[in-house]
Structure 1
Amino acid sequence: MRATYIQDVQQWVAGFNFSTEVQVRFSETDMYGHVNNTKVFTYFEYARIEYLKALGFQSLSESKGMNMLIVADIQCDYLKEAFFDEILTVFVKTASIGTSSMDLHYLVKNAKEEICYTGRGTLVQLSSETGKGVPILDEQKKILLGK
């Protein structure tokens, strides 16, 4: 695997505890019948939202004021094609937490358990009033780290 954010693939894969499924829609495919490369980011977004909801992170940050999570950067490594009507399992985990940011990792497998895509992205918690970074609270860090 060529992704610089993955040191040991087996260990990295074993660290995922959350997943959700997506079914590839026809509109997400290109003229060759496989998932358009831009659509994978939509799968990451869907899984990220479900992950944060499952953790209760969104409701906590909203209760502390008008904070929002913004994608600062995101990347994807394409390893295997996926096709119309396939069911994909999208995994998400918190890889690291900074002062006002967090790095999430993504893994997408097909029904044969083959890795189709891997990815990572940084989210920054911002104040909707000032547009500046807002520290991630200790209680939020505990939620993100599953403690």
Structure 2
Amino acid sequence: MKMAYIKDMEEWAADFGFSIQVSVRISETDMYGHLNNTVPFIYFEQARAEYFKKIGLMNDWQVPNGETIPVVADLQCDFVKQVFFDENLSIYIKAAEVGNSSVDTHYMAKNEKGEVVFTGRGTLVQISKVTGKGIPWTAEEKSLFVKEKVK
């Protein structure tokens, strides 16, 4: 399977520096024990929140009187292998490209054998709570996405 956002799978996979662990719950599976196809998006969200907390961006977004919030502009998942109930997965996230007020995030899930089971990508935009328009990243915020800071 070829994903447009991945040029070289080995190089792409080696570039991740942050991950979380999840265990597939029975409520996340279908009657055959397969992971429901909507659940990876929940895992992506969980990894994204932990990643943003780790690099220091969630602090501003969680302040009730803060001026900006992040919104997901698009999100996709590509399934590589079947995933079943009770499997333990590592969900990886990285900032692939930082724009003016957006960040393109990439995701990778590996099972306990180290096999890639699904991948994904999405764009998150920082917007004004008042106007709903994009708010540019500051130089400091852009620097937070540098992967060495999250390894």
Contact 2:28 2:39 in 1 (8 A): yes
Shift of 1:88: 0.4
Q: Which runs of 4+ in 1 moved over 3 A?
A: 60-65
Query: Equivalent residue for 2:123?
Result: 122
**What TM-score, normalized by structure 2, do the two folds share?**
0.93
RMSD in angstroms over aligned alpha carbons? 1.5
Shift of 1:33: 0.6
* Distance in structure 1 (CA, Å) of the matches to 2:44 and 2:38: 11
Query: Equivalent residue for 2:2?
Result: 2
Contact 1:73 1:123 in 2 (8 A): yes
Contact 2:126 2:136 in 1 (8 A): yes
* Distance in structure 2 (CA, Å) of the matches to 1:142 and 1:58: 15
Shift of 1:57: 1.4
Query: Equivalent residue for 2:35?
Result: 35
Query: Equivalent residue for 2:47?
Result: 47
Shift of 1:65: 3.5
Contact 2:61 2:70 in 1 (8 A): no
Contact 1:60 1:140 in 2 (8 A): no
Shift of 1:61: 5.2
1:75-90 alignment, distance < 5 Å: 75-90=76-91
* Distance in structure 2 (CA, Å) of the matches to 1:20 and 1:42: 13
Query: Equivalent residue for 2:70?
Result: 69
Query: Equivalent residue for 2:94?
Result: 93
Amino acid at match of 2:119: T
Shift of 1:66: 1.8
Query: Equivalent residue for 2:15?
Result: 15
Shift of 1:59: 1.4
DSSP 3-state at the match of 2:141 = helix
* Distance in structure 2 (CA, Å) of the matches to 1:23 and 1:66: 35
For structure 1, which runs of at least 5 residues remain unmatched after alignment?
none
* Distance in structure 1 (CA, Å) of the matches to 2:89 and 2:61: 29
DSSP 3-state at the match of 1:120 = strand
* Distance in structure 1 (CA, Å) of the matches to 2:123 and 2:18: 18
Shift of 1:58: 1.4
* Distance in structure 2 (CA, Å) of the matches to 1:65 and 1:49: 17
* Distance in structure 1 (CA, Å) of the matches to 2:53 and 2:62: 12
